[in-house]
Structure 1
């Protein structure tokens, strides 16, 4: 049973960028866990702040409801750490909590943000804390005096503007069989409804790339990822 862990800076990031990977993992008999470092209540919930008399706690409650429902649609468990956003600050306690999550869940695949994003101050922070947690949880792949797990495959999901974030995809995932689930999960986020069309179109663009590379004509929707570490195989 493959185990997928997605670390999301804000409550909705996992849906736009890895919703298909999550749904596909679960559909194939695996297990998925989403860790949201924040709800994105300050910088990622613009539609909600248009309502008169809006409050921070109400926005967080709505975002929690949206993210929980989206994760449920995709088949994932949802774990919010509620660290706040813009800026996202991760103290040592939160860092240790993420390490514990990695060790307890023992993912086969770990996915998070790119280390560079000139348009979002929180995404690089999410990468940094995830990378550190991965190193601590795995002991760099050698025997250690503390409890560790086997190093997972480490991937970055596609940022909103990939060319400006140094994102170079080297893995395309066919999400055609679970596209309707990803679409339904995206539609849950009324707080960021404007992104639904963008990521629906992006899935078509990446499918076009995937078809050309693979020659598989039936790929209608795809997600793009970038490997952080080399792939290790026993045969070519």
Structure 2
């Protein structure tokens, strides 16, 4: 006769008494792990080595660069390393932030605080900052956004433009303001006002350009940390988060940290 089985439910109950229900944590952990694997697979470039070479060509020349973000901090997280490489290689880089991010919290004067943080980040990236005042949470395709883009183009005369990917952004970029910016830049590239400037979409789900940012990783982290009003959790937790976002393609190309883009034209 086989010995009786141990009371498995009793063992689980003992764990639950010590640390709370186990099943919800297991489900949540599995969901996060699955989402991470799916995201990584969806973000893989078609030809990694070709994409990395395209990144070298992107940052190896001098351009008039216009990088556009809907809110303070967007550009630093998704393209901060690339922008620092461009500026230190001789490009004239302008960071255009469409809103002040005033809806982030209920903190008094949060829009002013975030604008000052954006100035600090721009200094770290060796870029000029242009701060606009479109409504946070209310950026939509239409005349107001088109006028803002017209002014930015006239001011910077860009040769290379960075904006959110309007077609298939990463889960971190699922925001109506982000999508509106990408859609407006895409429409501009397809219209009669396009003058041959290169368009690169950041936070791209299926990139065709990878930029090796390993040598400027610390500067990227510092630029992200400049936005202290938006950091959640302890300061020490920011480093692994930013490094993790920048390691999505590790092991597929000979670069430790990269940023991914989809080059439209």
Q: TM-score range by the shorter chain?
A: 0.7 to 0.9
In the alignment, is the contact (CA less than 8 A) between 1:39 and 1:80 conserved in 2?
yes
| 1:94-131: CA deviation from partner (whole Å, max 9, x where unpaired) | 42232232234222211111214583111111112223
Is 1:225 matched up with 2:261? yes
Residues 11-30 of structure 1 correspond to what in structure 2 (within 5 A)? 11-30=72-91
Residues 105-124 of structure 1 correspond to what in structure 2 (within 5 A)? 105-116=156-167, 119-124=174-179
In the aligned structure 2, how far is the partner of 1:209 from the partner of 1:41?
39
In the alignment, is the contact (CA less than 8 A) between 1:172 and 1:210 conserved in 2?
no
Aligned residues: 195
Is 1:139 matched up with 2:193? yes
Which of these residues, 129, 132, 139, is aligned with residue 81 of structure 1?
A: 132
| 1:26-68: CA deviation from partner (whole Å, max 9, x where unpaired) | 11111111111112221xx34xx4xxxx33xx00011001111
| 1:60-96: CA deviation from partner (whole Å, max 9, x where unpaired) | 0110011110011101111111111222246525422
SS at match of 2:248: helix
Q: Which moved more, 1:123-132 or 1:17-26?
A: 123-132
Match of 2:143?
92
Structure 1: segments with no counterpart, 5+ residues: 141-149, 160-166, 212-218, 230-236
SS at match of 2:147: helix
Match of 2:244?
201
In the aligned structure 1, how far is the partner of 2:102 from the partner of 2:145?
18
In the aligned structure 1, how far is the partner of 2:92 from the partner of 2:228?
26
In the aligned structure 1, how far is the partner of 2:260 from the partner of 2:241?
14
SS at match of 2:252: helix
Residue 41 to residue 170, structure 1, CA distance change in 2 (3 Å): same
In the aligned structure 1, how far is the partner of 2:126 from the partner of 2:145?
25
In the aligned structure 2, how far is the partner of 1:189 from the partner of 1:139?
34
**1:209 CA drift (Å):** 3.0
In the aligned structure 2, how far is the partner of 1:87 from the partner of 1:97?
14
SS at match of 1:67: helix
| 1:189-236: CA deviation from partner (whole Å, max 9, x where unpaired) | 11222494433212123343332xxxxxxx22111111223xxxxxxx
| 1:126-159: CA deviation from partner (whole Å, max 9, x where unpaired) | 11222344456x634xxxxxxxxx4111111116
TM-score by length of 1: 0.74
Residue 19 to residue 11, structure 1, CA distance change in 2 (3 Å): same
Over the residues paired in the alignment, what is the CA RMSD in angstroms?
2.2
Which of these residues, 130, 151, 156, is aligned with residue 185 of structure 2?
A: 130
